[in-house]
Amino acid sequence: MTDRPAATRRPTSILRSLAYRGFYLLPKSVKRRLVRLATPTYTLGAVILVFSPDESSILLLKQPPGFGWGLPAGLLDRGERPEETAVRELAEETGIVLDRSAVRAATPNAVVHTRGRWVDTVFVAHVAPEEVELFVDGAEVWEAQWWPVSALPPITVAAARLLAHYELGPYADYPLAARQD
């Protein structure tokens, strides 16, 4: 036993105390629904950074509305694992088909965009550019191209902020600017 003092109870209003008691008496499903209604929600996406084997090049996409190049990414389907989403989106947007085991979690693996209220889970894959043929549909993706990591084209703000977490792109030297999501 330690000689630490017991926690001091803060005064609470009777109404607040009754509200908590009533909440904890509710069925679990009702409590869960109330919490979901009262708390902020975030959209969950998956992004895949596709590098050449020596990491000198990265695959970028030009998508509508065309204000810069971005990364292969998409939203998780219900029940889908983030790495499955990353692999699925890469295949849909570029024609590159990878096995789930060919991707690894990036570090950091999740980037929270508080302004837009979404979370990107980020994965990395290595693909030899000369061994794949890129296919785009012309609607969701206009172009897909390999770019030298040291000479990126104009990229979207969202892609620039995400890449800064990995010390890449135009915000790499300005980490605070990149994290002002």
Q: Domain ranges for the chain, please list them.
A: 12-40, 43-178
Which pLDDT value is given to residue 120? 94
pTM of the full structure = 0.78
Beta strand pairing call for 69-70 and 104-113: unpaired
pLDDT tens digit string along 106-134? 999 998 877 777 899 999 999 999 999 99
Answer CATH for 43-178 from 1.10.150.20, 3.40.50.150, 3.40.50.300, 3.90.79.10: 3.90.79.10
> Is 90 exceeded by the pLDDT of residue 18?
no
Q: Which of 123, 147, 144, 130 is nearest to 55 (CA)?
A: 147
